[in-house]
Structure 1
Amino acid sequence: MQTDRADDECWRAALRLLDGGSCEWAASRLALCRAAAPARRAPGDAWRERVVRVVERVSAGLVVVCWCDATACRYGDQVWKADIAKRRGRCALSDAPIAAGDAIYRPRPGRPRPVNAAAMMLACEVERVSPG
């Protein structure tokens, strides 16, 4: 596979640098690796980097969510409350568009303010995946 070969070349270039090898040779190898590497996702695709799971329904308007985002935060048992969206956004569960006025769930405010405080989940998506 092309990416396996590119990864192998990158590894060899890194080892050569660590071993006191030629910086010019390593730089040329790394440039080839970057050219062969798949394009990175744009920041707008960051939703794909996190795992969001509704763990438990506490009441009609509260759910417990497990939120894992390697680039920002991890909450194993974060409480989210039902609300109405005040602005447009994307559903953290499905990436579906959210319009102002949609029924949503959002992290319950607290101190310190949760890193994912601006996140939203469509209420219909929460109902679809809620346990029990």
Structure 2
Amino acid sequence: MLEKHTSAWSRTVALLDTAGARKIADEATRIAQRRPAKTIWNDHAALMVSVIELPTPRTATVSWCDPLSGYYGHQTWRVALAKQRGECVLSGKSIKPGDFIYRPATCQPPPGNAGAMIIASELVPCVTPSQS
């Protein structure tokens, strides 16, 4: 009887092939890299975005929670120039190419919110001529 269970266990362990697991992980990475960069975030009713801090003038720490694109509790976003039209995930304001924005820092594989943008004016207080 013990031999029967040992044989079944051995077959189960053999099915847990590391090469097969690596193949699945590689395919998941390829799929993530093909993910479209532009997403209409205002369609995500459950999206919650908040800025935690501005550790440097060029970075922001953002908390992102969305059941479709994932949860990133302390995600680093960096200043960049917008390359395409979009919408600020904080204010809903339109973003056009060339606008200063914050976006998630690049990494591999890209995060689920890789195409999200926050217009920089939402995070940096505007200085009026009378204040300078």
Bucket of the pairwise TM-score, normalised by the shorter protein? 0.5 to 0.7
Residue 50 (str. 1) matches residue 51 (str. 2)? no
What RMSD in Å do the two structures reach over aligned CA positions?
Answer: 1.6
1:104 paired residue among 101, 104, 109: 101
- Taking the aligned partners of 1:44 and 1:105, their CA distance within structure 2 comes to 15
Instruction: Confirm or deny: 8 A CA contact 2:82 2:97 kept in the other structure.
Output: yes
Amino acid at match of 1:58: P
Unaligned runs of 5+ in 2: 1-39, 126-132
> C-alpha separation between the residues in 2 aligned to 1:109 and 1:66?
16
TM-score by length of 2: 0.60
Contact 2:60 2:77 in 1 (8 A): yes
1:63 pairs, out of 60, 64, 69, with 60
- Paired residue type of 2:75: Q
Whole-Å separation in 2 of the counterparts to 1:109 and 1:76: 16
Counterpart residue number, 2:85? 88
Distance 1:110 1:64 in 2: 15
Aligned equivalents of 1:48, 1:93: Cα separation in 2 = 13
In 1, the alpha carbon distance for the partners of 2:41 and 2:105 equals 24
TM-score scaled to structure 1, two decimals? 0.60
Going from structure 1 to structure 2, the CA distance change for 1:79 and 1:45 (only over 3 Å counts) comes to closer
Percent identity reads 38
**Matched residues, number:** 86
Name the aligned partner's letter for residue 103 of structure 2: R
Instruction: List alignment gaps of at least 5 residues for structure 1.
Output: 1-42
Paired with 2:114 and 2:42, the residues of 1 have a C-alpha distance of 18
Of 44-53 and 108-117, more deviation after overlay is shown by: 44-53
- The 1-side partners of 2:114 and 2:44 are apart by 14
Deviations 1:78-110 (A, max 9, x none): 000001101100001011110111110000001
**What letter matches 2:48 in structure 1?**
V
- Counterpart among 69, 74, 95 of residue 72 in structure 1: 69
